[in-house]
Structure 1
């Protein structure tokens, strides 16, 4: 091979190598393979969500609910929500998680003994460095008869 052919082969290899390394550096799958990180498993876990609301008298009230995740396929997760304040209500929750953001939609569950309550909405959480989530719940509050937005904090309580 002459010097010109070798030079062109070097240029082509450099360009191909640069494009491939740029692509590989931006893919999560390669990062997980390289660092042996496992995808977060929500199925079989129980989480507690806490928030503060103002009651009718103007007092701050700390509230909580329990998220019980039952299924996960890839980044899609599903489960249920229970609240001690409403023992006859159960919410169905489903959504997705992409290693940073957790997005969930809630609706009244068919398993709930109070099957006719109106409560629909969405959670949008961001994962913190300690594994907890902070974000917002936006949904229809039937008691206030309006859409509300509340900041929530989500923390793992147990692995079932």
Structure 2
């Protein structure tokens, strides 16, 4: 479990291209700790929508910068955006793995999904510490340690280890 809390934001529309939502604050939003985003539209006809990431929200509703995310609970850390994109990329690869007929394509997708998983863990390690990285791997992979580098685990801690994985 993470100590982080979901973060609130608004979508602020500077230019209303369609004439539907108006300008100013048009959405109340919440980014959950796993990167999923919920939007509540503040238009005459309200609606609620769920998205995989804040990047998806910006792509769909940003209108080339005419609508922007304004964090109520402080600015987003750049590494959270990276993690959200890596999670989305990993989900794509996992989907390919499930549906690909060709074994080589499945293996390539598996390798890319594994790489995304460990890129997320490495990013967490750098910005949030080893415990966050290891917790993420335990939730989303085989729970392998990050304390040593192997051909299958290129994400190493700052501790030095010998070939057995023991600290030196």
Structure 2 length normalisation: TM-score? 0.31
Which structure has the higher relative contact order (CA within 8 Å, separation 6+)?
1
TM-score (norm 1): 0.32
When you count helix as a share of all residues, which structure comes out higher?
2
Indicate the structure with greater strand content.
1
